[in-house]
Structure 1
Amino acid sequence: MAVTSRRAGRRRSMSQINVVPFIDVMLVLLIIFMVTAPLLQQGVEVDLPEADAQPLQDEKSQREAIVVTVTRDGQLSLNQGPQVGVSLDRDVLREIVADLLSQHPGTQVYVRGDRFVDYGRVVDAMVSVQSAGAQRVGLITDPPDLSARDR
């Protein structure tokens, strides 16, 4: 018994932090973010053509620009207005763009056309936007993938 009492007198409290609950919480948060991140992306999937065009310098105009998207199957949609990302016909598209341009004159207007869509569909979208009152219409492309070109 003397040995036990000596050991009881020498005991120290542990001054280490138990990190196992912290790791558990971090793993749960990681799983939650991995599941919800793909759900946060919205918009219309378009495979843009690649071009060596220079990027626009005015980032403010790009954020507030009206973008008409032409999908692979020829459907038209807008990034602003009452029907964002919804398939629109040419007349409704023209009306919405005309309304947006009347509220904010001078707004930049761009057309994003899928690389596999018929070129006539992209031109139709540009004509619709111009008939709505847009003075200048730009085309959006992706920069070329230089690593794929070097292979």
Structure 2
Amino acid sequence: MKKAAVAWVNVPGGPALALWCVPLEGALFVVSGPGEQSAPGLADAPEARVTLRGDHGGRIVTWPARVTRVTPGTEAWESAAPLVAAKRLNASGPTTNLVARWAADGCALNRLAPAGAPDSGAGLPEESLAEVPRGAPVVRATRKPFRLHKVRRR
């Protein structure tokens, strides 16, 4: 978990989502909301399941997590938010501005702490857990390529 940059987070009743995260204080911190990644239901969920994968895509560990929302103005926010913002890739402006934007826009900073033993042995599924890709509004039908000459078939 110490090297995690992306985790698959599954909120009960929803699909597993690949989310950018920061390992800190024995937990994973995830930011979602306006201008950040979308994590439907995570901010209001009391629990989730977290799956971490290795460099080659294979699952390393899956564990239950207790979800706690860190609110602006609290001591937890003042200590965690700047550290999470410092790890944010492609952030525009200084870290203090990013933290202030998260607080002003109502972004959720969630702490996912281990809440039990990781899955092992009989608790691991036999199947691959691969799913059909979900539809997105950016997907379009591709056109057939333009041909300059007639293709002969034999």
State the TM-score, normalized to the length of structure 2. Answer: 0.22
Structure with more of its chain in strand, by fraction: 2
Q: Which of structures 1 and 2 has the bigger CA Rg?
A: 1
Structure with more of its chain in helix, by fraction: 1
